[in-house]
């Protein structure tokens, strides 16, 4: 669709190993639900044009775009990394109760994703304030896997570096009376 070729239903059949029609139909429905394309049209919507530039799943891309509009891209990039990576919590067999207690200490809200985000923020603070040694102690005390926390940071940085979005990106929108975006404009 982004390349302005034939309709999505017709174009793949020109390939050597074309997908089955139900797969294409499912993909079109998957793009229509978040508003990336309209029903019975072969063109991407303005939102779809923005999503096509991001190296992430459609739902995460839509989350990025709207968080860019509202100025919350950095924390949401971390949450997207949390969604796509393994949990950084470790559970030694003999210390399951201690692990649960350490995890519940981070639980300000009932959300595993936000608990992991809080764990990431604590790890980052320990690293900034005390360096490598402090970081190791923090991870041991709170049953965190240091490598996985580091992976979260690298993944969220990847989202920034491989997309056109950053904390200064302006996405053109038509705003409604309450200031919320009503419609995205083409890129």
Model pLDDT, residue 55:
78
Model pLDDT, residue 186:
45
Among 66, 64, 81, 56, smallest CA distance to 162 is for 56
Model pLDDT, residue 10:
59
Model pLDDT, residue 15:
63
Cα separation values, 170 from 48, 69, 117, 159, Å: 16, 7, 26, 17
Model pLDDT, residue 137:
93
Model pLDDT, residue 40:
72
pLDDT tens per residue, the chain (187 residues)? 555 555 655 555 566 677 777 887 888 888 888 888 877 777 788 888 888 888 788 888 888 888 777 777 777 777 777 777 777 888 778 888 887 777 777 766 677 777 888 888 889 999 999 889 999 999 988 888 899 888 888 877 766 665 555 544 545 554 444 454 444 444 4
Model pLDDT, residue 182:
45
């Amino acid at each position: 669709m982004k390349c302005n070729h034939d309709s999505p239903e017709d174009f793949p059949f020109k390939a050597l190993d074309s997908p089955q029609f139900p797969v294409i139909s499912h993909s079109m429905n998957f793009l229509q639900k978040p508003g990336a394309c309209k029903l019975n049209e072969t063109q991407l919507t303005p939102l779809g044009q923005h999503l096509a530039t991001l190296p992430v799943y459609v739902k995460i891309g839509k989350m990025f775009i709207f968080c860019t509009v509202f100025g919350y891209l950095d924390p949401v990039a971390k949450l997207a990394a949390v969604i796509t990576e393994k949990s950084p919590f470790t559970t030694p067999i003999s210390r399951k109760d201690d692990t649960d207690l350490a995890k519940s200490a981070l639980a300000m809200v009932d959300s595993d994703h936000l608990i992991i985000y809080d764990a990431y923020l604590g790890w980052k603070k320990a690293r900034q304030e005390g360096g490598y040694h402090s970081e190791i102690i923090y991870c041991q005390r709170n049953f965190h896997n240091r490598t996985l926390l580091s992976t979260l940071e690298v993944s969220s940085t990847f989202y920034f570096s491989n997309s056109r979005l950053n904390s200064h990106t302006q996405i053109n929108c038509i705003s409604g009376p309450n200031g919320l975006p009503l419609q995205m404009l083409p890129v």
